[in-house]
Chains A and B, each alone.
Chain A
């Protein structure tokens, strides 16, 4: 119990510290206007969304959205510092002020809205299925019942299938690799028949190998990708939402989707409408 009390005390100290950091800085809009600088959290290992290139630059849809929003807020590309955000550390990054915003395949959920706030969504996706290009037997989630499926460890997508089909199916038909990139060789060599997770992630990986894989295109869940900023930064949210809407309207959004996802861009046909709150 004393150990627990220790942890609590530590946690209290940590939140106390971050609270100080937070109150010092105002809205992201003011910071962008005054400093002409922003620190943005992105993924650096997610093809099509946020990927570090060999030359040190970054490419992907999230990167494009981040640059566009920054530009609209008055920050030139040279004023952006990109920082790697992993799935598990995105909320703490924003709360502690280590980044000004996060654009990292970041799903808007009620749980997360208690800690940070979201602008967007700039994209709506769902769990989908990737199969070999010549496979015609898998048409929807039900046809996975007697197929071999690959998922990533620590991802919620394989769990959704395991809950649906039961533990015997899980043991016989589901393999969990260390990341979705590791599933591709298994799919190509017919060890598994399908990979299942967010359509966006599947499209990003598959776009690297044109003609080899195809998306089934029938999502069976809904994920909304948003831009994460500090809790209660209403003016920041509004400004980013306006920027995202402008990106939809002037065709930059479409161009960026097609550039990053290639033949799979067609699965993301129309931009969503942003949710202002």
Chain B
């Protein structure tokens, strides 16, 4: 246990990076996921097709592959840079792109399933009072749809928090990478270190599950 106590500042720093990755990727993927969902229910076949192709490719590709593509493909070969002199900033944003692109596919499917819970009559009523497609979506459908899928969105967020560990693949010094390095320095305390990091993730994910469960109940659309 001493190893965990001794390394506590490093562990906290690592988890702070995990939180930053999760929050920023979470926000981006929420916005992008809703846009994708709108594309997939839109009346334009081109948008529907594009949305379907995107979601099916990203959702069926391993996250490690996507993250490594962001690091090597975007970062190294295509030379996409977010900072000219800071490697950790660069890797952070490259992995954020990967995490957001991947998670957005899941957000899209969750939101789309929410759209299907909104009775068809709602859309028909909106159209009959003259709202356009975007107005219908923004004012009538999405508010009801999102409120119906708060709990599954929480599950997606929980998955995202744990998925941030894959960012270690391109050298983002989040929890998983720090843990690996600690194994090297404290080879005699592998189990305490492991338990320490596992506890860290539970501390992050458990309240989110509870919070989203509570929110889902309070925000549910009464029908």
Chain A interface (Cβ < 8 Å from any Cβ of B): 7, 88, 148, 153-156, 159, 171-178, 185-186, 189, 191-192
CB atoms of A154 and B180 under 8 A apart:
yes
Instruction: List the B residue with the shortest CB-CB distance to A176.
Output: B171
Whether B117 sits at the interface, judged by CB under 8 Å, is no
A182 to chain B, nearest CB (A): 8
| Complex CA distance for A175 and B90, rounded to whole angstroms | 10
Whether B168 sits at the interface, judged by CB under 8 Å, is yes
Chain B residues lying within 8 Å of A154, measured Cβ to Cβ, are 180-181, 183-184
CB atoms of A176 and B184 under 8 A apart:
no
| Complex CA distance for A7 and B191, rounded to whole angstroms | 10
Q: State which residues 162-207 of B face A: CB under 8 Å.
A: 168-171, 173, 177, 180-181, 183-185, 187, 191
Chain B residues lying within 8 Å of A171, measured Cβ to Cβ, are 86, 88, 173
CB atoms of A175 and B91 under 8 A apart:
yes
Chain B residues lying within 8 Å of A153, measured Cβ to Cβ, are 168, 171, 177, 180-181
| Complex CA distance for A185 and B77, rounded to whole angstroms | 9
Chain B residues lying within 8 Å of A192, measured Cβ to Cβ, are 87
**A-B residue pairs in contact (CB < 8 Å), sample of 19:** A7-B191, A153-B168, A153-B177, A153-B180, A154-B184, A155-B184, A159-B184, A172-B86, A172-B87, A175-B91, A175-B171, A176-B173, A177-B171, A178-B168, A185-B72, A185-B76, A189-B76, A189-B77, A191-B76
CB atoms of B169 and A175 under 8 A apart:
no
Chain A residues lying within 8 Å of B85, measured Cβ to Cβ, are 172
Chain A residues lying within 8 Å of B77, measured Cβ to Cβ, are 189
A25 to chain B, nearest CB (A): 26
Instruction: List the A residue with the shortest CB-CB distance to B75.
Output: A191
Contact of A174 among B87, B169, B170, B184 (CB under 8 A): B87
CB atoms of B170 and A177 under 8 A apart:
yes
Interface of B is mostly: helix
CB atoms of A173 and B87 under 8 A apart:
yes
Chain A residues lying within 8 Å of B171, measured Cβ to Cβ, are 153, 175-177
Q: Which 3 A-B pairs have the closest CB atoms?
A: A175-B171, A154-B180, A171-B88
Chain A residues lying within 8 Å of B191, measured Cβ to Cβ, are 7
Q: A174-B87, A175-B91, A189-B76 are in contact. List 14 more A-B contacts (CB 8 A).
A: A7-B191, A88-B187, A153-B181, A154-B183, A159-B181, A171-B88, A171-B173, A173-B87, A175-B88, A177-B171, A178-B169, A186-B76, A189-B77, A189-B79
- Interface size for chain B: under 10, 10 to 19, 20 to 34, or 35 or more residues? 20 to 34
A179 to chain B, nearest CB (A): 11
Contact of A176 among B76, B86, B177, B185 (CB under 8 A): B177
Q: A156-B184, A185-B76 are in contact. Are A175 and B177 (CB under 8 A)?
A: no
B121 to chain A, nearest CB (A): 54
Chain B residues lying within 8 Å of A186, measured Cβ to Cβ, are 76
Chain A residues lying within 8 Å of B72, measured Cβ to Cβ, are 185
Instruction: List the A residue with the shortest CB-CB distance to B187.
Output: A88
Per-position binary interface string of chain B over residues 86-106, scored 1 when its CB falls under 8 Å from any chain A CB and 0 otherwise: 111001000000000000000
Chain B residues lying within 8 Å of A185, measured Cβ to Cβ, are 72, 76
Chain A residues lying within 8 Å of B183, measured Cβ to Cβ, are 154
| Complex CA distance for A22 and B79, rounded to whole angstroms | 55
| Complex CA distance for A258 and B187, rounded to whole angstroms | 35
Instruction: List the B residue with the shortest CB-CB distance to A167.
Output: B13
Q: State which residues 123-137 of B face A: CB under 8 Å.
A: none
Chain A residues lying within 8 Å of B185, measured Cβ to Cβ, are 156, 159
Q: Which of B173, B181, B183 has the most CB of A within 10 A?
A: B181
A145 to chain B, nearest CB (A): 13
Instruction: List the A residue with the shortest CB-CB distance to B192.
Output: A4
Instruction: List the B residue with the shortest CB-CB distance to A178.
Output: B169
| Complex CA distance for A276 and B136, rounded to whole angstroms | 84
A163 to chain B, nearest CB (A): 11
Q: A153-B177, A153-B181, A154-B180 are in contact. Are A172 and B170 (CB under 8 A)?
A: no
Chain B residues lying within 8 Å of A189, measured Cβ to Cβ, are 76-77, 79
| Complex CA distance for A178 and B72, rounded to whole angstroms | 13
| Complex CA distance for A200 and B155, rounded to whole angstroms | 47
| Complex CA distance for A177 and B71, rounded to whole angstroms | 11
Instruction: List the B residue with the shortest CB-CB distance to A3.
Output: B191
| Complex CA distance for A109 and B27, rounded to whole angstroms | 49
| Complex CA distance for A125 and B214, rounded to whole angstroms | 60
Chain A residues lying within 8 Å of B187, measured Cβ to Cβ, are 88
A198 to chain B, nearest CB (A): 14
Instruction: List the A residue with the shortest CB-CB distance to B77.
Output: A189
